[in-house]
Amino acid sequence: MGLALKYRRSGGTRRRSGRRRRAALAVLVTVAVVFPLSAAGRPEIPAPPPASLTRPDASTLGEAYAANRANAAEAARMAEAHHDRDRAAADRYLASPARQLLRFDGRGSGRVTEVLGDLARADRVAVLVPGSDTSLDTYGRFHAAAAALHERLARQAPAGTRTAVVAWLGYETPGTVSTTVTTTGRAEQAAPHLRALVADLRAIAGPGPRISLLCHSYGSV
């Protein structure tokens, strides 16, 4: 009798433990699948198409910066009219006169390629590639990392060495909590665009500067 009671209690404990594990698994599946789908269902924020520009070189770099700032300013106005204040603020931030935007596209999650430093005269160029959960809405933290890197490179470079940092948000990054981050799909889509950027940097800065890719987390894929 005592043994049977002990067995029943042990079996009940195992069943409760199993139910808890199944419940926890259900929560993880919900977070990993349902949350990304709900985020993907967010209404598209209107923005103009990217500025139509020829491939920039050292002589036209300033014109490209100005055209992309103007595009960001227009995107801010459209986002404001759409009552998305957060996106409008992010766009206005990028439209500031001091920003050097090599590329800008305010549509969807957004694309930005920003230069810190004098790219046309740089001896060393670092391209910063972001990881997951980076978009126009979170670009501020990515820019802060690029600015800190530029400051450190300028401080530590040998005397007379000119440096530039390129913050490249040139692809749709996956969400940290999503099934997409476990695959190489987004990276495979991004790689040709990253190669094209490096070719553009060669056209602007010439063959002399050393170009390094500094890739964070999923960006290293």
CA distances from 152 to 105, 125, 171, 212 (A): 29, 13, 26, 15
* H or E, element range at 128: strand 124-129
d(CA 181, CA 131): 10
pTM assigned to the model? 0.80
In angstroms and rounded to an integer, the radius of gyration of the C-alpha atoms of the chain is 24
What is the arrangement of strands in the sheet containing 124-129, beginning at the earlier edge strand? 101-105, 111-117, 163-169, 124-129, 210-215
Angle between helices 85-94 and 139-156 (to 10 degrees): 30
Residue for token pair 């599946």:
29
What is the structure's pLDDT at 29? 39
Task: Quote the pLDDT of residue 45.
Answer: 84
Question: Residue 44: its pLDDT value, please?
Answer: 81
Q: What is the pLDDT of residue 36?
A: 42
Q: Where are the domains of the chain?
A: 1-41, 100-220
Fill in the amino acid letter for 144.
A
Scan for tokens 């809405």, then name that residue: 137
- Block means of pLDDT (10 residues each) for the chain, length 221 residues? 51 62 49 40 79 93 97 98 96 97 96 97 97 95 97 94 97 91 93 97 92 95 93
